Amino acid sequence: PGGLALPDGRCVAFGPSGVDVVRFLLTPHQGAEPAPIGDGASGGELSRIMLALEVVLAASSPPAVFIFDEVDAGIGGRTAVEVGRRLARLARHSQVLVVTHLPQVASFADQHIVVRKDSDGTVTATSVTEVTGHARTVELSRMMSGQSESTAALAHAEELLDLAAVEARQEIS
């Protein structure tokens, strides 16, 4: 009841969940002091830390579904490609639903769905459409440049889709 005295002078007592206290520390950038994740991580960093943990844990005991709402907030470029890659890896074990505005992330999806909200000033309606083939390339182009028919953006969209397809084939073999 009074606990056990340790050689370093601390006294520990077993509680209902044992004696150990575990803390995850984060060093968000080189030179920063490690701090508890809850104190040192932004919302976007917390989402990406959770994604990393879920990818690791899902391989051993996968839940049926993961839902990520803008896990890619505040990132872009190479980091966005890596987040897309990790989400695709997680999807090997579970169903993964992702709300994203980044084409780098969307390009790794097995299925790409566009949700649109339209209003005529009186009535607002929401539509959900799956995009495949060229329509998907056009949508990724629109996500990148705001222009669905930009030659440069279309080429980049095709490049992203090719990257995701190559990586998916490598995962299978």
Q: Provide the whole-model pTM.
A: 0.69
The whole-angstrom separation of Cα 112 and Cα 134 is: 12
**pLDDT tens per residue across span 37-87:** 877 677 677 777 877 887 777 777 777 888 888 788 888 888 899 889 989
| SS3 per residue for 110-165 | CCEEEEEEEECCCCEEEEEEEECHHHHHHHHHHHHHCCCCCHHHHHHHHHHHHHHH
Task: Identify whether the C-beta of residue 161 lies closer than 8 Å to the C-beta of residue 169.
Answer: no
pLDDT at 49: 80
**pLDDT tens per residue across span 91-138:** 888 899 999 999 999 999 999 999 999 999 899 999 999 999 999 999
